[in-house]
Chain A
Amino acid sequence: MMDLKVATAAALEAACAAGALSAEAFACEERKVTFLAGPKGLEGSTAVGACGVGIRAAGPGQGGMAYSSGLDRERCAAAGRGAWAARRRLEPPWRFPGPEAAQPVPGLADPMVSQFHPAQAQALLAEAAQGVTAAGAQLTWVELSVLGRRFQVHNTLGVDQGVLATWVEVGAGAVAREGEQAYTANVRRVWRSLAEACPLEVGQGAAALALSALGPKPVPTGRYPVVFRPRALADLFLPGLVPALLDGEVDAQPYREGEGLGPAWFNLFDDPLRAGGPASRAWDETGEPARRAELISRGTFQGPLRLGGHAFRRRQGRLTTFIEAGGAYALGPVPGATNLVVRAQGAPPLGNVDRALVVDGLLGAFVTDPATGGFSVTAAHAWMMEQGRLAHPVNRVMLSGRVRDVLSGLIAAGDDLDSVGYAPGPYLITPSLCCADVQVTGG
């Protein structure tokens, strides 16, 4: 097995020998170790890994891309030759950053969990399970994942940048039963190091959600103020808003720069340099230093995320064709978000809202069309809030509307800042937000 630096060098050398004038190679190695336990203990463990190299080779007005799993010289060189062989006319041409981009960003170190040993998993899983059962719910599953990811970007202009990132994810499932009816709840959290991980909280959170669903009452169809908890906001915004904030991601850009989208207290920015952020990284995937970008400031759209410090997402074909490309190395860089932070500075507090529907998690939100922002989803968990307190859980309810209307209808924010997402990101870091008027289908 080759070093990532050697792998990218082999791919570049082969592309240039084949005729390319410039090239960029991106090598990636990922390993996710997952431990899954049920009520009777550990059931199984998996180490899912991917490594390979992707390369873009360019000449005047043309370029091509190829990739290969594995990091041995022969496969990397084959990818390099393949990229030049797959060249086509390019408009606009690819722009690779020069050596001036390869300046280190101070103060952002990725914590390491490489010392993690499988034997530690038992204790951490037991802690999460304890959180579920001690709270009075039944355990359905607990899971611990440790993800390590290194990548190396190397181009013919002098960029040769490596990054190591690690994540620890803990998930727990709980069930509370009432006669034949089972009320299940799942909670997942992510940390950047084992030292920070708190599995007990995850178990307690899952149990609390499941137990709080007991004894639901129906609510009639109508329009309600809705408090979206952080998980519901992530379910809605990550597929329904964020793609529309990435340059070139949707065909018809629905938001115009300078357009007012929310109240003056609503701010949204992407901060890859956020201390302790779940998706913080020093460089993007073309080797340019990461930097913070304001997306919505004082309610006004500032413009989309563009390449040049924000290439955080190599596009993968599986999202639309369901055939999985190898890993992050399989296709080219596109703009991507990291730590998307909602700052509700000076927002009226949630305590000001007398009566509202509170939702936590949404089913079906991932199909929200970002071009229109139209959504029609089912709440995973919902409660009625009266006089500022949760009064009772509610039966299945659907919420429908447009993301644009949710933003413009925001009237209050909570103080329960939380980050929601999956490694390696993006994550939405937000408090609960209340929208004044949402169409709700009840039963």
Chain B
Amino acid sequence: MKRLAELTSRAKEMGAAFAEARYEDLTETFIDWRGAGPVWAACGRETGVGVRVLLNGRWGFASTTDLTPQGLQEALADALELAYAGGSGQPGEAALRPRATFTAEHVVPRAMDPRSVPLADKLGAFQRLARESLAGQAVSGFELAYADQAGERVYVDSEGCTVWWEPVRCIGRVSVTAADRGDSASSVEGFGGTVGWEAVETGEASAAARMAAANAREWLGAGEAPAGSFPVLLDNQAAENFIHEAIGHAAEGDAVARGLSVLAGKLGQQVGPPGVTVVDDPSRTGSVGAFPFDDEGTPARAVTILDRGTVAEYLHSRETARLLGAEANGHARAVSYRYPPIVRMGTIYLAPGPTPPARLVESMEEGIYLLGKRGGQVNPARGSFQFNADRALWISRGKVAGRLRGVSLSGQILDILTAVAEVGDDLAFHTGGCGKGAPAQTIPAGSGSPHVLLSRAMIGGRRR
């Protein structure tokens, strides 16, 4: 911590208006499992420092794994040189929202620190999971990707802010394939979060595997989805995918500040029905997208993006907060010490409404019920987004009339918000991830939602 403080002081002496240093020391395990055995299993340690400076209104960032005094000085010199690359002429416009200085410590709670569990025990647990899954009726394939990380992170800046915390994450994703009479179907489920090995030990992983197996089996023989515009019901996972892509990315302060979001300039404007309240809450304990401080050292807090359909607040770093005249709210995240922080979501969710999901199904005359999530993508400037569901059902007169696969939904953010007809009462959270930025940063991001009924949306299906 002392060395980091010396580094930021040195940056100030060299002319930087602001400097920050982030140190990480993380012990990790990665397991990649296919069928009856692991394809890869590796343990490792990642240690390094990232230095960011603000000089003449421009940012410079460099990272290093060389933690000697000389290595750190070289990283600082790189960052200063990069910030200075714009020359001493016209200054840049980057600046930070002022904030109070503070010192904080935090240990993310965990029942079983993953570092205390030998690799052999982790492999043994997944061996049992694979055996159970592969013994299931019609199951033909089992894949699992697992990663854990634990250690310490330190943040120090030239304004006197110091943060020390001990993060932990255990995350997995199970994919099960079922096959019968020449047909096959697969389903994917995630487990874990900012928790310890208990994510596996207490049965969450096996529940995810059972769920994926049951879904894969049930969707054997499912038909192709039709193409066109239909009333659509989204289950929890499909709806959280929708909220993440359609609302979350459009609310990121960097896109808003550049005018590259359809939500730019809409603070205080009603863009959706009163039943739509969207919050990003990185303080949600255990969520894969939970963190006590962001990577600028700002305490993370819940941000209400849409308050009963009205744009209430954007997600901010200190820089975008200053640009847009707001308070920094703890949403500047970096994948690791190697990258500079950019504005990201933590755990985004849609607040629950009044209607039980069963009633939403019953209310549909004809339409598509999207289940599960397989990822999505958005262009916040054009306002177009798309996401893929894991599987789907055809609903006719309030009842399930068939199983469908290969289905995705595409929409315009502002149009689709007005299409939200009803919100369910069954809020649930799941793991997920998100990629953004250049260099691309892929991070764990949590999300949650109840069921959502859309009066109409564009469905891409393969049926003629």
Residues of A within 8 A of B (CB): 1, 32-36, 38, 40-52, 54, 64-72, 75, 78-79, 82, 86, 88, 91, 118-119, 121-122, 140-141, 143, 145, 171, 175, 181-184, 221, 223, 248, 251-252, 315, 317-326, 330-332, 334, 363-364, 366-367, 369, 371-372, 374, 376-378, 380, 396, 398-402, 422, 439-441, 443
Contact = CB atoms under 8 A, between A and B. Distances in A.
B408 A321 contact: no
A376 B40 contact: no
Contacts of A184: 260, 379, 381-382
Contact of B149 (A1, A323, A364): A323
B35 A49 contact: no
A366 B376 CA distance: 8
The 6 closest A-B pairs by CB, nearest first: A322-B433, A44-B59, A398-B460, A320-B145, A45-B82, A118-B85
9 contacts: A45-B83, A47-B78, A47-B82, A49-B63, A51-B65, A70-B47, A323-B147, A331-B40, A378-B408
B445 interface: yes
B37 A46 contact: no
A330 B42 contact: yes
Given A184-B379, A319-B145, 17 more contacts: A44-B94, A46-B59, A47-B61, A48-B63, A70-B48, A145-B439, A175-B381, A182-B382, A252-B141, A320-B145, A323-B30, A371-B177, A371-B184, A378-B408, A400-B225, A439-B227, A439-B462
A50 B338 contact: yes
A441 B338 CA distance: 42
Contacts of A34: 438-439
B92 A41 contact: yes
Contacts of B78: 47
Contacts of B177: 251-252, 371
A46 B61 contact: yes
Contact of A252 (B140, B149, B460, B463): B140
Contact of B120 (A71, A88, A182, A325): A88
Given A68-B44, A184-B379, A317 B32 contact: yes
A443 B229 contact: yes
Interface of B: 28, 30, 32, 34-35, 37-48, 58-67, 71, 78-79, 81-87, 90, 92-94, 119-120, 123, 140-143, 145-149, 169, 171-173, 177, 179, 184, 186, 225, 227-229, 258, 260, 288, 335-336, 338-340, 374-379, 381-382, 384-388, 405-408, 410, 412, 432-434, 438-440, 442-445, 458-464
Given A43-B59, A323-B28, A364-B377, A315 B143 contact: no
A251 B65 contact: no
A64 B381 CA distance: 47
A366 B44 contact: no
B375 A46 contact: no
A35 B61 CA distance: 10
B438 A318 contact: no
A252 B444 CA distance: 28
Contact of A43 (B58, B382, B440): B58
